[in-house]
Homo-oligomer: A and B are copies of this chain.
Amino acid sequence: MALIVQKYGGTSVGTPERIKNVAARIAATQDEGHSVVVVVSAMSGVTDSLIKLSRQITPTPADREMDVLLSTGEQTTIALTAMALNAIGRRAVSLTGAQAGIITDGVHTKAKIANITPRQVHEHLDNNEIVIVAGFQGETTDGRITTLGRGGSDLTAIAIAAAIKADVCQILTDVDGVYTCDPRIVPNAKKIEEISYDEMLEMASSGSKVMQSRSVEFAKKFGVVFEVRSSFNNNPGTLVKEETMSMENVVVRGVSIEKNQAKITIRRVPDHPGTAARIFSAIAASHVIIDMIVQSDSVGDTNDISFTMNKDEWPKAQSVLEPVVREIGAESVGAQGGIAKLSIVGIGMRSHSGVAARLFEALSNGGINIQMISTSEIKTAVIIDETRIAEAANLTHEAFGLSK
A376 within 8 A of B: no
Nearest CB of chain B from residue A70's CB, rounded to whole Å? 8
How many chain copies does the complex carry?
2
The reply on A234 being an interface residue by CB < 8 A is no
A80 touches B60 (CB 8 A): no
Please name all residues of chain B whose beta carbon is closer than 8 Å to the beta carbon of A383 when the two chains form the complex.
none
- In the complex, whether A241 has a CB less than 8 A from a CB of chain B is no
Is A16's beta carbon under 8 Å from chain B? yes
B-binding segment of A86-94, A166-174, A178-186, A256-264: A86-94
| Minimum distance in angstroms from A330 CB to a CB of chain B | 41
Closest to A23 in B: B57
Q: Which residues of B contact A143 (CB under 8 A)?
A: 99, 120
> Residues of A at under 8 Å CB distance from B?
16-17, 19-20, 50, 53-54, 56-58, 60-62, 64-66, 68-69, 71-72, 75-76, 78-80, 82-84, 86-87, 93-94, 96, 99, 120, 143, 145
Who on chain B is nearest to A76 by CB? Answer: B72
Q: List 22 A-B contacts (CB under 8 A).
A: A16-B57, A19-B57, A50-B76, A53-B76, A54-B83, A57-B84, A58-B83, A58-B86, A61-B87, A62-B82, A62-B83, A64-B93, A65-B79, A65-B82, A65-B86, A68-B82, A69-B83, A71-B75, A72-B76, A99-B143, A99-B145, A120-B143
B53 & A65 in contact (Cβ 8 Å cutoff): no
Instruction: Pick the contact of A86: B16, B19, B61, B79 (CB < 8 A).
Output: B61
Nearest-Cβ distance from residue A112 to partner chain B, whole angstroms:
21
Q: Is the CB of A69 within 8 A of B58?
A: no
B79 touches A66 (CB 8 A): yes
Shortest beta-carbon distance from A156 to chain B in Å: 17
Additional A-B contact list (14), CB under 8 Å, known A62-B86, A69-B75, A72-B72: A54-B79, A57-B80, A57-B84, A58-B84, A58-B87, A61-B86, A64-B93, A64-B94, A65-B93, A65-B94, A68-B75, A68-B79, A69-B79, A75-B75
- Cα-based distance from A99 to B83 in the complex (angstroms): 25
Q: Are B16 and A56 interface neighbours, CB within 8 A?
A: yes
When chains A and B are docked, how far (Å) is the Cα of A71 from the Cα of B17? 22
Taking the closest CB of chain B, its distance from the CB of A191, in whole angstroms, is 32
> How long is the Cα–Cα vector from A75 to B64 in the complex, in angstroms?
13
Residue of B nearest to A134 (CB): B68
